């Protein structure tokens, strides 16, 4: 007899994989719960019971995509670590797939749990960078919430609300300003 947790994890994996495959094959707008269920080898009612509807399923898949796979790179210095992280974050989030995942994560998530999870991922990465700086003996760092407010928030706000060019120079300027604040 399979443990419920084991089956549950396998169902989730199969359904997420089916979404990825079908997204690539037939495109996002053609996805339906019956199509996804058939590819995953489960019944549509399994999907409805677990995820509610297609939008909530896509929100979960998006959050999974937005989860960082590794710790931020270590460049030996706070300013270099935070700059590299912010440049990569902006590059990923402002890309067409990144924008689609952010929208999906927000839209199928009336309670805000998935959006909160996305923000928690960013906060965890920043926390790793700041702890590393502390371990090196670097002084006068900003705290995680200050980096969220003045580096992450402006990038995400502009991606969602403010059309216009977003380049690596913008990310670098936000980081430089944020660290300068911390030094005052």
What does the alpha-carbon distance between residue 57 and residue 145 come to, in Å, rounded to a whole number? 30
Instruction: Compute the least distance from the CB of residue 129 to a copy of itself, in Å.
Output: 18
Using rule CB under 8 A, residue 14 touches a copy of itself: no
33, 57 in Cβ contact below 8 A? yes
Using rule CB under 8 A, residue 167 touches a copy of itself: no
Q: What would the 3-class secondary structure string for 70-104 be?
A: CCCCCCCCHHHHHHHHHHHHHHHHHCHHHHHHHHH
Out of 150, 168, 172, 182, name the contact with a copy of itself by CB under 8 A: 150
Only one residue has tokens 């169902």, namely 11
What does the alpha-carbon distance between residue 184 and residue 169 come to, in Å, rounded to a whole number? 23
Using rule CB under 8 A, residue 176 touches a copy of itself: no
Q: What are phi and psi of 74, to 5 degrees?
A: -100, 110
Compute the chain's Rg from CA coordinates: 19
Q: Which of residues 110-149 bind a copy of itself (CB under 8 A)?
A: 112, 115-116, 118-119, 148-149
Only one residue has tokens 């604040």, namely 181
Between 61 and 100, how does the x/- string for binding to a copy of itself read (CB under 8 A)? ----------------------------------------
Instruction: Compute the least distance from the CB of residue 93 to a copy of itself, in Å.
Output: 12
What does the alpha-carbon distance between residue 145 and residue 66 come to, in Å, rounded to a whole number? 20
- The closest of 181, 84, 67 to 129, measured between CA atoms, is 84
Binding residue count for a copy of itself, defined by CB under 8 A: 24
Out of 41, 160, 167, 169, name the contact with a copy of itself by CB under 8 A: 160
Using rule CB under 8 A, residue 39 touches a copy of itself: no
Residues that bind a copy of itself (CB under 8 A): 103, 106-107, 112, 115-116, 118-119, 148-150, 152-154, 156-158, 160-163, 174, 177, 181
């Amino acid at each position: 007899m399979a443990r419920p947790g084991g089956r549950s994890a396998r169902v989730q994996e199969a359904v997420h994989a089916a979404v990825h495959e079908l997204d690539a094959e037939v495109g996002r707008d053609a996805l339906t719960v019956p199509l996804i269920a058939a590819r995953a080898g489960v019944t549509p009612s399994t999907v409805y019971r677990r995820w509610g509807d297609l939008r909530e399923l896509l929100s979960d898949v998006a959050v999974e995509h937005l989860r960082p796979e590794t710790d931020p790179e270590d460049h030996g210095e706070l300013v270099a670590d935070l700059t590299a992280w912010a440049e990569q974050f902006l590059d990923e989030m402002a890309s067409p797939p990144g924008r689609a995942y952010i929208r999906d994560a927000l839209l199928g998530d009336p309670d805000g749990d998935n959006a909160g999870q996305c923000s928690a991922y960013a906060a965890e990465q920043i926390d790793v960078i700041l702890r590393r700086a502390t371990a090196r003996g670097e002084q006068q760092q900003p705290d995680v919430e200050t980096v969220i407010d003045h580096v992450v928030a402006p990038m995400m706000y502009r991606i969602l609300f403010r059309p216009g060019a977003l380049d690596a120079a913008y990310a670098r300027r936000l980081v430089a300003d944020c660290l300068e604040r911390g030094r005052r």
